[in-house]
Amino acid sequence: MKKFLNKPETFVDDMIRGIMAAHPDKLTYVNDDLRCVVTAKVKKGKVGLATGGGSGHLPLFLGYVGDGILDGCSVGGVFQSPSAEQMLEVTKAIDSGAGVLYIYGNYGGDIMNFDMAAEMADMEDIRVEQVVAGEDVASSKKGEEHKRRGVAGIFFVYKVAGACAAAMKDLDEVKRVAMKACDNVRTMGVALSPCIVPEVGKPSFSIGEGEMEIGMGIHGEPGIERGPLKSADEVVKQMLDAILADLPYVKGDEVAVLVNGLGATPKEELYIMYRKVDEMLKEHGIKVFHVYVGEFATSMEMSGASITLLKLDDELKTYLSMPANTPFFEQVQL
Amino acid sequence: MKKFLNKPETFVDDMIRGIMAAHPDKLTYVNDDLRCVVTAKVKKGKVGLATGGGSGHLPLFLGYVGDGILDGCSVGGVFQSPSAEQMLEVTKAIDSGAGVLYIYGNYGGDIMNFDMAAEMADMEDIRVEQVVAGEDVASSKKGEEHKRRGVAGIFFVYKVAGACAAAMKDLDEVKRVAMKACDNVRTMGVALSPCIVPEVGKPSFSIGEGEMEIGMGIHGEPGIERGPLKSADEVVKQMLDAILADLPYVKGDEVAVLVNGLGATPKEELYIMYRKVDEMLKEHGIKVFHVYVGEFATSMEMSGASITLLKLDDELKTYLSMPANTPFFEQVQL
């Protein structure tokens, strides 16, 4: 295991201490618990947006806490859910009377804990609503969308819901917009190499030299095809064909695109992939509104990438275009 | 070699095609040459800022072309200098009468070609000035600063010079500010693994399992110490001690900090490193004005990191704080 760390058991806390030290004007934590991260500037009367999940996916999850997106995040160990108590503390800190929306990925531990946190919040008279994001088309077949894993596409859900909340809409409205994004977003990933959980010390799976796995999840969940590494264009075609057929995205649609690196894959390769995405979308008569290329949801040093499409209407375009400013993501008005 | 690419020989052009397709409103190219990248919006009467260098270092070099930073970039093959002719075409495209400043790293091929381009520009009555950035304290000893390699610290030179040009200062003034940044910036790096140049197909060097090399350059140039991987805190202490002693940075100084990932090193680890940087700077009585953590100058999938300090005065703080907006770097007014 070749990582810059002190001890595996302090990996997450050392990381959060570094984040807090680097961005003291933007982030803080509550209840004397480093893993209860909240924005330094809670806005009165605004719907609070909270997320949470395991560590090891930066900028997911806490990286989207900031102006124009999320207000708080509970942080688990590497690939582990945070606790319901931590979620509750974040909820209490970011509620300013308008209620709180939880947006998180479709993983068993997170669902259980967020459900429990919502119940506890209810007992404290904080209104909480929940949106569970899951858009990995490789993880469950069409017709069983509710079983799908949440991966990089949750960025789009955060972005539009965050902008809606920043526009001072009420909780029902922010939830409606978040769900609209969930309904219109699809992702597929491909992995070339595993990553190592610090406290485990060895890779959780292996991929042979010269092999790839299409559809693999961000914790190494099984994909749909393992085989020899193909050309970038072939890999993209296989992934995008599956995405396009799933919603389906059709001629005349307008989309935002995210080409996401899983950790070790350089931006050079992500743009080589995007070249083919752009070509295919043109062939399908699908218009591109805006493109994001970079690391938005990672698995530490895993090598691989994912492609996400979000189908847009005027409302989603408006919210996607609004500015945002967090330590990990800055966007001026599009 | 596990990379998302089509053919090694089309790696760079496919990448640029992807970048152009993703950001058509921000970037374009001139002279029918994909490798002559310029901003889509040349501003009349503004000093033009150009850079250039080998590919494989995104967001270096072309990623800093955009509002508030650079205007053009000539792009070489992976780890290869672009040609003087390409530099000249970029120069002609971005000059709007106020002259052009070249800012590039201290590498033999780049110096030779930029010198030649400057001569050719002179024959076309375009005034060109040059600033060669080199700040890697591991690459040459104190007293021989002019021999030092340019690495991630060039980001700071781009940023302040770009803001100075955006403020419509003249060529002499933009050059003075760029040189001030060069004089006040220092970097040291550490590598854990090599990268593979696509057309070569195998790593250019090797580092044993469990080993690191402190001071290694971004093309694998030899460092100052190879040995067992130490704890993050120990690695940072060794690097920052060398940086602090070099300028030297002293008690009462105010600095900007950049913790830069070389490619495969996750943000989690960069923040673990920053935790120690922050602690040490506090111990030394050095004040931190702003912190950047992420990938600013890479070597494709190389694993490793660098630390850069820029000593600030009021003028540099003003220029560092100004907004910038490129496809690879967005900053709102600090």
DSSP B43: P
DSSP B323: -
Please count the residues of chain A.
Answer: 334
Is the distance from CB of B194 to CB of B204 less than 8 angstroms? yes
pLDDT tens-place string over residues A183-215: 999 999 999 999 999 999 999 889 998 999 999
Other beta carbons within 10 Å of B188: 28
Dist CA A103 CA A180 (whole Å): 13
Is the distance from CB of B118 to CB of B95 less than 8 angstroms? no
Q: Is B233 helix (H, G, I), strand (E, B) or coil?
A: helix
Full-prediction pTM beyond 0.95?
Answer: yes
Dist CA B216 CA B304 (whole Å): 9
Where does CATH 3.40.50.10440 sit in chain A? 11-183
List B residues 53-92 in contact with A (Cβ-Cβ < 8 A). 55-56, 58-59, 63
Helical spans, DSSP H, in chain B: 11-22, 84-94, 108-123, 154-166, 171-184, 232-246, 267-283, 314-321
Asked if B18 and A271 come within 8 Å (Cβ–Cβ), the reply is yes
Strand order in the sheet with B27-29: B27-29, B36-39, B72-78, B48-55, B100-105, B128-133
Q: What are the pLDDT tens digits along chain B (334 aa)? A: 899 999 999 999 999 999 999 999 999 999 999 999 999 999 999 999 999 999 999 999 999 999 999 999 999 999 999 999 999 999 999 999 999 999 999 999 999 999 999 999 999 999 999 999 999 999 999 999 999 999 999 999 999 999 999 999 999 999 999 999 999 999 999 999 999 999 999 998 899 989 999 999 999 899 999 999 999 999 999 999 999 999 999 999 999 999 999 999 999 999 999 999 999 999 999 999 999 999 999 999 999 999 999 999 999 999 999 999 999 999 999 9
Q: Is B11 helix (H, G, I), strand (E, B) or coil?
A: helix
Residue B334 makes CB contacts below 8 A (sequence gap 6+) with B290, B320, B321
Asked if B2 and A192 come within 8 Å (Cβ–Cβ), the reply is yes
Q: Does domain A11-183 have CATH number 3.30.428.10?
A: no
Tell me, what's the pLDDT at B1? 86
Query: A120 to chain B, minimum CA–CA distance in Å?
Result: 31
Asked if A56 and B232 come within 8 Å (Cβ–Cβ), the reply is no
Q: Does B51 touch chain A (CB under 8 A)?
A: no
Tell me, what's the pLDDT at A72? 98
Where does CATH 3.30.1180.20 sit in chain B? 185-326
Query: B17 to chain A, minimum CA–CA distance in Å?
Result: 6
Chain B residue with CA closest to A306: the answer is B4
| Bond preceding residue B82 cis, omega within 30 of 0 | no
Q: Does A18 touch chain B (CB under 8 A)?
A: yes
CA B163 to chain centre: 16
Helix H, strand E, coil C: the string for chain A is CCCCCCCHHHHHHHHHHHHHHHCCCCEEECCCCCCEEEECCCCCCCCEEEEEEEECCCCCCHHHECECCECEEEEEEECCCCCHHHHHHHHHHHCCCCCEEEEEECCHHHHHHHHHHHHHHHHCCCCEEEEEECCECCCCCCCCHHHCCCCCCHHHHHHHHHHHHHCCCCHHHHHHHHHHHHHHEEEEEEEEECCECCCCCCECCCCCCCEEEECCCCCCCCCCEEEECCCHHHHHHHHHHHHHHHCCCCCCCEEEEEEEECECCCHHHHHHHHHHHHHHHHHCCCEEEEEEEECCCCCCCEEEEEEEEEECCHHHHHHHHCCEECCCCEECCC
Q: Does A193 touch chain B (CB under 8 A)?
A: yes
A16 pLDDT higher than 90: yes
Structure tokens at B100: 């052009």
Is the distance from CB of A103 to CB of A65 less than 8 angstroms? no
pLDDT tens-place string over residues A245-261: 999 999 999 999 999 99
Tell me, what's the pLDDT at B204? 83
Q: Of 3.40.50.2300, 3.30.1180.20, 3.10.180.10, 3.40.50.1370, which CATH number belongs to B185-326?
A: 3.30.1180.20
Query: Across residues A156-164, what is the average pLDDT?
Result: 98
Dist CA A273 CA B245 (whole Å): 44
Of all residues in chain A, what percent carry a pLDDT higher than 90?
98
Tell me, what's the pLDDT at A204? 83
A229 pLDDT higher than 90: yes
CA A96 to chain centre: 25
pLDDT tens-place string over residues A263-277: 999 999 999 999 999
Residue B228 makes CB contacts below 8 A (sequence gap 6+) with B210, B211, B212
Of all residues in chain A, what percent carry a pLDDT higher than 70?
100
Tell me, what's the pLDDT at A1? 86
Asked if B2 and A303 come within 8 Å (Cβ–Cβ), the reply is yes
ipTM over 0.85: yes
Of A243, A257, A256, nearest in space to A313 by CA? A256
A202, A236, A268: which to substitute to probe chain B, counting the most B Cβ within 10 Å? A268
